[in-house]
Amino acid sequence: MIEIRGAVELPRRVEEIELRTADGLTLVGELALPEDREPVATLVTLHPLPTAGGFMDSHILRKAAARLPALAGIAVLRFNFRGVTSPRGTSEGAFGDGVDERHDLDAAMAFVRERGLPAPWLLGWSFGTEVLLKHGLGSGLAGAILLSPPLRRTTQAELARWASATVPVVAIVPELDDYLRPAAARERFAVAPNVEIVDVAGGKHLWVGEEQTYRVLTEIVQRLHPAALPLPTSWG
């Protein structure tokens, strides 16, 4: 038996992929699939702020891709936004401050449709939540998870549009977040009362440490495939 923590990678099928945007850019990414079965749902990830070091390998997204296909039968799609570099490579283009990235999100969802991947949930983390809130409504998503939403680029009008969402939307808000804490989040999200707010005691914006990682992955699986809970902490 091995303990599931840190950089442990569980069995899965991994494909290096490219996404083509409507404005002519090629984005690099990766699709992780269950090794021996079809996925029950799909997690499409939108990474943190590129100008602050965010990329497709930001640790929660990397660990989701390394663990959830095996533990929960979930496919995980990761990619670099325009102009972003990771070990997988560099996506074409330049940082669009959450505006031009609408094409990146659209390209990811088009890929999901082309491949026939089931039940695509969008997971945005920090800056990724801004892209999701600005451009994700109407993209064909089965649900949305907002991890550490800073709401720095998202207007109240953009938030209010989500009141019409017919899919589940959950905001996971750390108690000790650097940008938006639970009380302030409840005020901002009041314009979209259907959004579920999950306060995480002791949580921080970057979710560092295995305990916080486990909490985030559990919240994800609770929405996409609750029958797979509780997530095991060892693999044999």
| For range 162-189, the mean pLDDT | 98
Helix axis angle for 127-135 and 101-115, nearest 10°, is: 70
Give the SS3 label for residue 80. Answer: coil
pLDDT category at 32 given cuts 50, 70, 90 is: very high
Looking at residue 215, what is its pLDDT?
A: 98
Cα 36 from Cα 205, distance rounded (Å): 34
Going along the chain from its start, the domains and CATH numbers come out as 2-228 (3.40.50.1820)
| For range 206-224, the mean pLDDT | 98
Using an 8 Å Cβ cutoff, are 145 and 138 in contact? no
| For range 207-217, the mean pLDDT | 98
Looking at residue 97, what is its pLDDT?
A: 98
| For range 13-38, the mean pLDDT | 98
**Amino acid identity for residue 207 in this structure:** W
Cα 236 from Cα 205, distance rounded (Å): 32
Paired with 89 in beta bridges are 86
| For range 146-174, the mean pLDDT | 98
Residue 65: both structure tokens together: 């891709």
| For range 109-124, the mean pLDDT | 98
Residue 78: both structure tokens together: 């990761």
Residue 119 phi/psi, 5-degree rounding, is 40, 70
- How many CB atoms are located within 10 Å of the residue 204 CB? 15
Q: Which residues contact 53 (CB under 8 A, 6 or more apart)?
A: none
Looking at residue 190, what is its pLDDT?
A: 98
Q: What percent of the chain has pLDDT over 70?
A: 100
pLDDT category at 221 given cuts 50, 70, 90 is: very high
Looking at residue 129, what is its pLDDT?
A: 98
Looking at residue 11, what is its pLDDT?
A: 98
Cα 235 from Cα 70, distance rounded (Å): 10
Cα 206 from Cα 146, distance rounded (Å): 13
- How many CB atoms are located within 10 Å of the residue 205 CB? 19
Cα 27 from Cα 25, distance rounded (Å): 6
| For range 144-167, the mean pLDDT | 98
Looking at residue 103, what is its pLDDT?
A: 98
**Is omega for the bond preceding 230 within 30 degrees of 0, making it cis?**
yes
